[in-house]
Amino acid sequence: MKKIVFGLSLFLLFAKGLFAGEGMWIPMLLNSLNEKEMQAMGMRISVDDIYSVNHSSLKDAIVLFGSGCTAEIVSDQGLLFTNHHCGFGVIQKQSSLEHDYLTNGFWAMNKSEELPNPGLTVTMLMEMEDVTDFALTGVADVMTEAQRKEKITVNCKAIADKARQRSGFDAEVRSFFQDNQYFLLYTQTFKDIRLVGAPPSVIGKFGGDTDNWMWPRHTGDFSMFRIYVGNDNKPADYDVANVPYKPAYHLPISLKGVEEGDFTFVMGYPARTSEYLPSDAMELITEKSNPHRIQLRQSRLDIFGKYAATDPKVRLQYASKDANVANGWKKMIGESKGIRRMNGIEIKQSEEIGFTQWALANKSETANYTGLIPAFEKAYTQLEPLKIATDFQAEAGMGIELISFASKFRLLVDESKKASADGKKMEELIKSLKSQTTSFFKDYYQPIDREVATELISYYIQNQPVEFRPGFLNSINASSKNTINDYVNQLFDKSLFVNEMAVNELLTDFTMKKVKRIVNDPAYQIVMSMKEFTDNNISKSLKILNGSIDSLQRVYMKAQMEMHHDKLFYPDANFSLRVAYGNVKGFYPADGVYYDYYTTIDGIIEKDNPEILDYQVDTKLKQLYINKDYGRFADKDGRLRVAFAATNQTTGGNSGSPVLNADGQMVGINFDRCWEGTMSDLMYDPNMCRNISVDVRYMLFIIDKYAGAGHLINEMTLIE
Ligand code: ARG
Ligand code: GLU
């Protein structure tokens, strides 16, 4: 893409309040306009301090943690901070009944106690390069969308291969601005990452799902890890002899805290946003797709909750599933509500009228955008039933645990049906299925799943027309819930996939003969019915439609940039390193209600309720509160702050991202967004969108005063 022209004076930019917190900027592309705005908002460093390839900069301290979170380096010995909920899976894996680190927390008192985590990696961005011209070499307007994609894929692979050889780093080309711009990313992935510290869940997950997505918040959502490397300071597989990583840069930590209005910025790995969709797409998501998905999840949560309330074992078994289902459920409710509150669809519609007028006035032989909006409308009308059908398959079909478990056996069946089945591959599949079987049954409670199945199937039949249901649903005599109940009971009575012993027996000495037992199983037949439906009725049309929507979206993005040539655009999130900047700020979530910008430990004590699992307060923490023993981590007024809210635009993947102050010093870790602002993935509202961060002083207080792990703090660079 050719450089965007920045004609607008800075004065105009602020007068229009163009960003005010909105934006996820590519660190390398933060330009003088961004810099001026950041400095006008209070920043005292330069963008060169944030990203540079000539000297160490902030970007050297930010890493992708695992495959879905962010972490930051906070000492010259590779010490990392991320969220507790990002480390959760790893901490759970390290836990046993004797060493229950999830419940009791974990603190390595010296390096030899730090725990290795096979499979866990962190990835660091070394450098970025605009390779748009190379990626688009040989691409012509006459090409079909498929030809175009293929050509670009080949180009990008060649670019990345060459870069890898030349640099010795990993390299990958990613598309930005809906395939209008391409960047080469050089990265390094570290593979020996050890657990250093985690607070108990009553602190790290305080508030749990009750408070999830909500402000005011009191969660100590952090955990600590360390990067280990070979003697050459380069990534290496786990080895006891590995040594702590010496980073090019580590974040200094400020003990000064933040005040309302302070400039902050967040650096991290946001996964996905869709800010440039047409109104039809926004309507499809918020008014057609979300409502069914919310309802289907609501049914499951109700059933989980009913059983969990009376049976502590079931409550534990379903805790993590419940958290996952609830996280998406709550997010979608907030998102649809938020778009309605801000009239998002109407805003987009009126922008589209303006766009078409502009397109008519500016149409030329080489650029005619007048047909774009009608083309979107047509495409999204066609997409709607297909999208809803896929939603139902995922949320209703696969929402039944029995069905999603049975679907895991498809690979095995497929492999065994091959003319020359690969014995080694079969062995691996069986091994993996055995371990999946163990973890499935550890947390499976059949009465819940039966009830879930009846609910989801009833909703499916009531809300999807015959032609958009997989065949098995149309074979059910669904005249009443009773008949559906009978169907479900038969299914569960007959399927072997509800019986751990039967599944283990199936997988022991697996022979081709046993394939038949899988294939004839009624749960597996449902899996196949869903697959057949997808293959025959959905996949092909969906692929074609998505192809044409992608190309419309590419042209629309380009056209919007031409139309608003004086505006700075930021690309949708795509799991690449971004910078979001804003101010610490409270907000009015509803008429007459004001939320302050910070919370304190007093709020934890206020919430204290032994009856509610999410609101249990640790006894030692209570004692520290009673003694007001906050040391140097207290605020000026002697209180201990826990969390704060700011206007930085963030999304999933930004969990664990450092929040930095005007001097580029760490003041907190991002871990959530407020509910009223969750529509920011589609449209940002400066009045409602707030990111939620845990105050770094609360984290240090927990490490020092609560855990007695002050040696970790001694490693850090504190700014008093
Ligand atoms: N809402 C946050 C996010 O989207 C936190 C999720 C984890 N916490 C929970 N209570 N489920 O990732
Ligand atoms: N909790 C989210 C995560 O895991 C971040 C919250 C958000 O979506 O903004 O990345």
Using one digit for the tens of pLDDT, what is the confidence trace for 548-574? 999 999 999 999 999 999 999 999 999
Q: Give residue 9's pLDDT band: very low, low, confident or very high (50, 70, 90).
A: very low
Which atom of ligand 2 lies nearest, measured to the CA of 691?
9
**685 classed as catalytic:** no
Which atom of ligand 2 lies nearest, measured to the CA of 213?
6
- Give the ligand at the shortest distance from the Cα of 84: 1
Find out whether the beta carbon of 613 lies less than 6 Å from any atom of ligand 1: no
Q: What does the pLDDT look like over 150-200, one tens digit per residue?
A: 999 999 999 999 999 999 999 999 999 999 999 999 999 999 999 999 999
Q: Give residue 583's pLDDT band: very low, low, confident or very high (50, 70, 90).
A: very high
Crossing angle for the helix pair 522-533 and 410-417, nearest 10 degrees?
Answer: 80
400 in helix, strand or coil?
A: coil
Q: Give residue 478's pLDDT band: very low, low, confident or very high (50, 70, 90).
A: confident
Contacts of 627 (CB under 8 A, 6+ apart): none
596 in helix, strand or coil?
A: coil
> Is 177:170 a contact under the CB 8 Å cutoff?
no
Give mean pLDDT, residues 119-141.
97
- Give the ligand at the shortest distance from the Cα of 65: 2
Q: Give residue 11's pLDDT band: very low, low, confident or very high (50, 70, 90).
A: very low
Question: If residue 399 lies in a helix (H) or strand (E), which one and from where to where?
Answer: none
Which atom of ligand 2 lies nearest, measured to the CA of 327?
1
- Ligand 1 center–CA 213 separation, angstroms: 7
pLDDT of residue 17: 45
Which atom of ligand 2 lies nearest, measured to the CA of 69?
10
- Give the ligand at the shortest distance from the Cα of 217: 1
Q: How far apart are CA 600 and CA 615, in angstroms?
A: 15
Q: Whose CA is nearest to atom 1 of ligand 2?
A: 672
Contacts of 294 (CB under 8 A, 6+ apart): 329, 332, 333, 336
- Helical residues (DSSP H) of 212-278, grouped into ranges: none
Find out whether the beta carbon of 706 lies less than 6 Å from any atom of ligand 1: no
Which atom of ligand 2 lies nearest, measured to the CA of 655?
10
Catalytic residue among 655, 657, 680, 693: 655
Q: What does the pLDDT look like over 328-370, one tens digit per residue?
A: 999 999 999 999 999 999 999 999 999 999 999 999 988 899 9
Q: How far apart are CA 308 and CA 317, in angstroms?
A: 9
Structure tokens at 41: 């908002």
- DSSP string across 408-440: TTHHHHHHHHSTT--HHHHHHHHHHHHHHHHHH
Q: How far apart are CA 302 and CA 309, in angstroms?
A: 11
- Ligand 2 center–CA 486 separation, angstroms: 41
Q: Count of CB atoms within 10 A of residue 684's CB?
A: 21
pLDDT of residue 323: 87
Query: What is the reported pTM?
Result: 0.93
Q: Which of 195, 257, 258 is nearest to 630 (CA)?
A: 257
Q: Whose CA is nearest to atom 2 of ligand 2?
A: 652
Catalytic residue among 60, 75, 84, 85: 85
Contacts of 420 (CB under 8 A, 6+ apart): none
Q: Give residue 400's pLDDT band: very low, low, confident or very high (50, 70, 90).
A: very high
Q: Domain-by-domain residue ranges, the chain?
A: 52-256, 279-555
- Ligand 2 center–CA 88 separation, angstroms: 14
How far is residue 647 from each of residues 21, 472, 591, 595, 714, measured CA to CA in Å? 5, 48, 20, 13, 32
- Ligand 2 center–CA 671 separation, angstroms: 6
Structure tokens at 690: 């707030």
Contacts of 40 (CB under 8 A, 6+ apart): 10, 14
Measured in whole angstroms, how far is the alpha carbon of residue 57 from the centre of its chain? 26
Q: What does the pLDDT look like over 602-629, one tens digit per residue?
A: 999 999 999 888 999 999 999 999 999 9
Which atom of ligand 2 lies nearest, measured to the CA of 654?
10
Q: How far apart are CA 139 and CA 141, in angstroms?
A: 7
How far is residue 472 from each of residues 465, 481, 490, measured CA to CA in Å? 14, 16, 14
**Residue 663 one-letter amino acid:** D
Which atom of ligand 1 lies nearest, measured to the CA of 212?
10
Higher per-residue confidence, 5 vs 529: 529
Contacts of 626 (CB under 8 A, 6+ apart): none
> Is 59:120 a contact under the CB 8 Å cutoff?
no
pLDDT of residue 481: 80
Q: How far apart are CA 202 and CA 277, in angstroms?
A: 40
Contacts of 400 (CB under 8 A, 6+ apart): 449, 452, 453, 456, 457
Q: What does the pLDDT look like over 73-86, one tens digit per residue?
A: 999 999 999 999 99
The DSSP output letter for 354 is H
- Ligand 1 center–CA 221 separation, angstroms: 10
pLDDT of residue 19: 57
As a whole number of Å, the end-to-end CA separation of the chain is 45
Contacts of 116 (CB under 8 A, 6+ apart): 192, 193, 194, 238
Structure tokens at 631: 């040391």
Q: How far apart are CA 357 and CA 369, in angstroms?
A: 10
**85 classed as catalytic:** yes
Q: Whose CA is nearest to atom 6 of ligand 2?
A: 672
Higher per-residue confidence, 108 vs 12: 108
- Ligand 2 center–CA 19 separation, angstroms: 21
Question: If residue 406 lies in a helix (H) or strand (E), which one and from where to where?
Answer: helix 401-407
Q: How far apart are CA 275 and CA 680, in angstroms?
A: 8
Q: Whose CA is nearest to atom 12 of ligand 1?
A: 652
Question: If residue 75 lies in a helix (H) or strand (E), which one and from where to where?
Answer: none
> Is 452:397 a contact under the CB 8 Å cutoff?
no
Give mean pLDDT, residues 393-406.
98
- Give the ligand at the shortest distance from the Cα of 86: 2
The DSSP output letter for 613 is G
Find out whether the beta carbon of 672 lies less than 6 Å from any atom of ligand 1: yes
Q: Whose CA is nearest to atom 7 of ligand 1?
A: 85
- Give the ligand at the shortest distance from the Cα of 671: 2
Catalytic residue among 209, 221, 618, 685: 221
> Is 456:481 a contact under the CB 8 Å cutoff?
no
From 205, 327, 331, give the residue whose CB has the most ligand 1 atoms within 8 Å, as the site to mutate: 327
Q: Which of 672, 614, 412, 403 is nearest to 523 (CA)?
A: 403
- Ligand 2 center–CA 329 separation, angstroms: 14
Structure tokens at 327: 């996280």
Find out whether the beta carbon of 52 lies less than 6 Å from any atom of ligand 1: no
Q: How far apart are CA 230 and CA 370, in angstroms?
A: 58
Residues of the chain with pLDDT > 70, as a percent, come to 97
Exposed / middle / buried, residue 591 (Cβ in 10 Å: 0-12, 13-18, 19+): exposed
Strands 192-198, 115-116: pairing is antiparallel
- Ligand 1 center–CA 548 separation, angstroms: 34
For the cut 70, the answer to whether the pLDDT of residue 121 exceeds it is yes
Bond before 589 cis per omega within 30 degrees: no
- Give the ligand at the shortest distance from the Cα of 212: 1
Q: Whose CA is nearest to atom 11 of ligand 1?
A: 323
How far is residue 28 from each of residues 25, 57, 323, measured CA to CA in Å? 8, 11, 36
- Ligand 2 center–CA 673 separation, angstroms: 7
Q: What does the pLDDT look like over 223-233, one tens digit per residue?
A: 999 999 999 99
Find out whether the beta carbon of 271 lies less than 6 Å from any atom of ligand 1: no
pLDDT of residue 96: 80
Task: Give, in degrees to the nearest 5, the angle at Cα 124 between 121 and 128.
Answer: 145
pLDDT of residue 8: 38
pLDDT of residue 15: 38
Q: Quickly tell me which residue has 């509803």 as its tokens.
A: 590
> Is 8:229 a contact under the CB 8 Å cutoff?
no
Q: How far apart are CA 431 and CA 446, in angstroms?
A: 24
**170 classed as catalytic:** no
Q: Which of 106, 155, 105 is nearest to 133 (CA)?
A: 155
Q: Which of 211, 207, 196, 249 is nearest to 666 (CA)?
A: 249
Q: How far apart are CA 296 and CA 594, in angstroms?
A: 33
For the cut 90, the answer to whether the pLDDT of residue 98 exceeds it is no
How far is residue 667 from each of residues 26, 603, 621, 685, measured CA to CA in Å? 22, 20, 22, 24
Q: Give residue 2's pLDDT band: very low, low, confident or very high (50, 70, 90).
A: very low
Q: What does the pLDDT look like over 588-604, one tens digit per residue?
A: 999 999 999 999 999 99
Which residues are near ligand 2 (CB < 6 Å)? 650-655, 671-673
For the cut 50, the answer to whether the pLDDT of residue 641 exceeds it is yes
For the chain, what is the mean pLDDT?
94
For the cut 70, the answer to whether the pLDDT of residue 304 exceeds it is yes
For the cut 80, the answer to whether the pLDDT of residue 130 exceeds it is yes
Question: If residue 408 lies in a helix (H) or strand (E), which one and from where to where?
Answer: none
Higher per-residue confidence, 150 vs 97: 150
Q: What does the pLDDT look like over 40-66, one tens digit per residue?
A: 999 999 999 999 999 999 999 999 999
Structure tokens at 302: 């109700």
pLDDT of residue 10: 39
